[in-house]
Amino acid sequence: MTIHIITIDGPSGSGKGTLAAKIAAHYQYNLLDSGALYRLLGLSLFQRGLLDQIDSNLDQCVEYATHLDIEFKTTEAATLILLEGVDVTHTIRTEQVGEYASRVATVPELRKALFERQRAFIQAPGLVADGRDMATSIFPEAQAKIYLTASAESRAERRVKQLQGMGLDAKISDILSNIQARDKRDMERSVAPLKPAEDAYIIDSSTIGINEVFQLMVNYIDSRIQ
């Protein structure tokens, strides 16, 4: 039996996480939030005082990445994310932890350590994987590849609303600067840079709503996996 794989890549704040969850629910597929893995690793290394010492303690960092103690608990209301038994569901969504993740993602050895953990998510009946290099590096065999993008300004506005909804203070100028810096780092890294796969379906969500984007995705996916 063929296990269908759908990848949704794109820059930070493009909406790929929200839409990946909706697509996974629509098709009743498993979901991989690869960004959460990098955020969890970044947070773990920060807590251990290793984030600024990755180069000098690379073997130790790789060991932590390989045996990262994480758990995803799905309930009817939401998915809880545990790091070493502690609920960090909201913590890993902060801008600061996003910066940790972006720094971790530039290290080839750490990316390699997380590779097999991501591949292990391929289980019946199918998988929806969102991230930055799902189609280009982790699941190049995916039947449906989507690249979801949006202008930095529109992504900053969405991120501010998201953070405010979590009860956190956020200045759009700071968020925009962070997004632009992260885009540059992700697109220019030497290993698995952020870019669309050659056969990806590219959607720009700058001026269209989530429901319209969702329908575009479903129409494309149906044409690829039937």
Q: Can you say which residues are annotated as belonging to the binding site?
A: 10-18
Return the amino acid letter for 211: N
CA-angle at 176, arms to 175 and 177, nearest 5°: 90
Residue 124 near residue 56, CB atoms below 8 Å? no
**Tokens 């405010």 map to which residue?**
164
Rounded to whole angstroms, how far apart are CA atoms 128 and 162? 23
Burial of 111 per CB tally in 10 Å (0-12, 13-18, 19+): buried
DSSP secondary structure code for residue 127 in this structure: E
In the structure encoding, which two tokens stand for residue 103, read together? 């720094």
Q: Can you say which residues are annotated as belonging to the binding site for ATP?
A: 10-18
